[in-house]
Amino acid sequence: MPDIALRLSPQDGCASMKSFLLRLAPLALLLALAGCGRDAPPVSVAGGDPARGKALVRDFGCAACHVVPGIAGHGSNVGPPLQKMGVRAYIGGVLPNTPEDMVRWLRDPPAVDPRTAMPNLGLSDAEARDIAAFLYTLR
Amino acid sequence: MRIGLRNLILAAAAVVALAAAGAALFVHLGIYDVAATRQHTRPVFDLLEYAQRRAVSRRAGPAPDLADSRRVQAGARIYSRHCLQCHGAPGIAPDALAYGMTPEPANLVATAREWPAGEIYWVVRHGIKMTGMPAWNRHLSDEEMWDVVAFVMALPQMSPSEYATFDPQARERNAAPAEAAPQPPPMAAAPDRVTPAAIGDIEAGRRAIDGYLCATCHVIPGVVGAQRAVGPPLAGIAGRRYIAGIAVNTPENMIRWLRDPQRMDPLSAMPNLGVSEQDARDIAAYLYTLEDPE
């Protein structure tokens, strides 16, 4: 038997695993940072406040037609679910997803696409901006 | 417990040798399917996607100012000549050759939301091995490649009709006269429960979804690589009351929509993908298996 031997007791095993993991931690952190580095802050909407928007989504009953993350009650499957709305390419399948187009769509969907089933809910410009700001937090 | 170092090394060597022999056998016997008709398995897909992303981001450099609208216009011309065939454009489907490719050529309308310009340039310049993406460095000048990047960076702000102003012929190739639609459609009740297998072949539909590049735009449960948010997610589409927000969700409407979306809504960004009647039935059958997630 050579002089150098590995002595493994359960405690040793645990300790060495722990130190191994501790050594891995910076690497894991680095990987996590590399992954998170891309997460830019949500698109901001001029004059829009996400917190007010969330309250408005509740008041206007958006969940009567859409599944909306963060809104109590699981929402309804009339229109498409709104998860990832902040990174979706198109609004209503027809408009590019820019803040100004989002406000335009929210204020009067049939004016954008006469065929849409989404009604004009009579939102004011300020309300539409708040709701748009909230939707851009869904990613 | 005392383990001799020599035994430990021997055991480790044996494990490594066995793993190598196993891997060699796996390759030699041709077990991994290279057919483009089958998507990669999920772990392989995820690994390749991650490796590609890391490799590009490691090598890419900074980008010049690309906001000049002349650059975007020049880029649009190059795009419609060299890129559209595989990647499509807002409201425009790729050419048939792209449908047979695995991995599926990315839809680029939202790429600039996640990819910095420098990385897009790197991919245009160097291509990506074993994906079908060619290197353009010998065929386009540096300036031309940056023009293309400028165009791709502008895509997230572009509606299908705005794109049509850059490339009217592509739009004509694609366009069908719109049919009259109720405006807006009647308030729909929850769709009747349909029996997917009565509409088409579910498994054939699952394969046709790969064949028509659906995964390049939609999140589709059960489809590897379907994680893009270009269009709406399709989880729960069986119970959704409207298709694309414009038509009551019935199997007939679903099949019509799949065959030619812009006939039902001329403004739609979803292009006519040339889906055959049978494929549309089979795809619809698969989609009607996607019940509400909860």
**pLDDT tens-digit map of B77-89:** 999 999 999 999 9
Task: Pick B97 or A5 by higher pLDDT.
Answer: B97
- The answer to whether A77 touches B243, Cβ cutoff 8 Å, is no
CA dist., res. A102 & res. A53, Å (int): 13
What pLDDT score does A15 carry? 42
Question: Rounded mean pLDDT of A74-103?
Answer: 92
**Has residue B206 got a pLDDT over 70?**
yes
Confidence of residue B140 (pLDDT cuts 50, 70, 90): very high
Integer angstrom CA distances of residue A41 from A36, A70, A83: 11, 18, 17
Q: Is B242 helix (H, G, I), strand (E, B) or coil?
A: strand
pLDDT digits (tens, 9 = 90+) for A102-136: 999 999 999 999 999 999 999 999 999 999 999 99
| Residues B167, B171, B174, B176, Cα dihedral to 10° | -170
Chain A: residues touching B (Cβ < 8 Å): 1-2, 4-9, 34, 38, 67, 74, 77-81, 83-84, 87-90, 92-98, 101, 110, 112-119
DSSP conformational letter for B237: G
A115–B242 CB contact, under 8 Å: no
**Has residue A16 got a pLDDT over 60?**
no
CA angle B25, B30, B32 (to 5 degrees): 100
Residues ≥6 apart with Cβ < 8 Å to B271: B88, B91, B92, B93, B174, B261, B262
Q: What is the 3-state secondary structure (H, E, C) of B55-113?
A: HHHHHCCCCCCCCCHHHHHHHHHHHHHHCHHHHCECCECCCHHHHCCCCCCCCCCCHHH
For an interface test with A, the pick among B53, B230, B263, B270 (most A C-beta atoms closer than 10 Å) comes out as B230
Q: Quote the ipTM score.
A: 0.84
**Has residue B166 got a pLDDT over 60?**
yes
Confidence of residue B123 (pLDDT cuts 50, 70, 90): very high
What pLDDT score does B77 carry? 95
Which tokens in the block code for residue B104?
């599926």
CA dist., res. B119 & res. B230, Å (int): 20
Question: Rounded mean pLDDT of B108-134?
Answer: 95
- With CA atoms as reference, report the closest residue to B146 among B45, B67, B91, B89: B67
- Quick check: bond before B184 cis, omega within 30? yes
The residue to which tokens 């004011």 are assigned: A124
Amino acid at B243: I
Nearest to A116 among B2, B54, B245 (CB): B245
pLDDT digits (tens, 9 = 90+) for B244-273: 999 999 999 999 999 999 999 999 999 999
Task: Pick B53 or B38 by higher pLDDT.
Answer: B53
Confidence of residue A42 (pLDDT cuts 50, 70, 90): confident
